[in-house]
């Protein structure tokens, strides 16, 4: 669209504004065209930079100035377009999550829970053995060694449980991030 065509359409769209405001706006737009052509652009490129005259008129009616309008348009163009995932990608993510990830999460969580409960039982058992042998005095050395062994086994088990939970959470985060990448970028 040439400068004259653009200015004519814009003047028509700004018809409800006062004559002086329309005149000032048209002068600003004409100046923009002149500056663009001095920078080596064609009239069509300058018009394309401004966008549709109807949208430009609406922005002016909202009280915006030309620099604000151009800045707003530049921000809209700078935003990356998010593409929709393909049906194959959606199917992969859903099937992977339903048939692999969720059963694996429940299995690992169950194992970790069982380890934690077993360690609790071992710790309580070792304390019970220590208390029993301590109070009765019979088999004191063997009971004390058994209780201490079970207590250290419980401490080791809790360390195993701690690292299991830690890597379970890290693995879950990694899986979620991987599925996000697949969802946004495709297979």
State residue 187's pLDDT score: 67
Q: Are 108 and 172 in contact (CB under 8 A)?
A: no
Q: Which of 150, 161, 156, 159 is nearest to 123 (CA)?
A: 150
Q: Which of 49, 46, 41 is nearest to 70 (CA)?
A: 49
| Residue 106 in this model has a pLDDT that exceeds 70 | yes
| Residue 81 in this model has a pLDDT that exceeds 80 | no
State residue 77's pLDDT score: 65
Greater pLDDT, 156 or 80: 156
Q: Are 7 and 30 in contact (CB under 8 A)?
A: yes
What does the block give as tokens for 69? Answer: 């309008």
Specify the range with the lowest mean pLDDT, choosing from 97-106, 114-123, 133-142: 133-142
Please state the rounded mean pLDDT for residues 160-178. 87
Q: How far, in Å, CA of 28 to CA of 55, rounded?
A: 16
pTM: 0.44
């Amino acid at each position: 669209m040439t400068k004259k065509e653009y200015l004519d359409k814009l003047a028509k769209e700004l018809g409800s504004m006062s004559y002086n405001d329309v005149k000032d706006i048209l002068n600003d737009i004409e100046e923009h065209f002149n500056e663009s052509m001095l920078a080596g652009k064609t009239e069509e490129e300058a018009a394309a930079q401004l966008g549709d005259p109807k949208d430009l008129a609406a922005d002016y009616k909202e009280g915006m100035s030309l620099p604000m309008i151009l800045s707003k348009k530049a921000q809209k163009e700078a935003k990356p377009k998010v593409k929709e995932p393909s049906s194959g990608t959606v199917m992969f993510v859903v099937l992977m999550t339903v048939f692999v990830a969720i059963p694996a999460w429940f299995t690992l969580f169950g194992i970790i829970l069982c380890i934690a409960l077993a360690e609790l039982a071992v710790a309580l058992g070792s304390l019970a053995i220590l208390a029993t042998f301590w109070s009765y005095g019979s088999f004191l050395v063997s009971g004390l060694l058994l209780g201490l062994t079970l207590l250290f086994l419980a401490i080791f088990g809790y360390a195993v449980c701690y690292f299991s939970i830690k890597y379970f959470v890290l693995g879950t985060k990694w899986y979620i991030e991987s599925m996000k990448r697949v969802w946004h970028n495709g297979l």
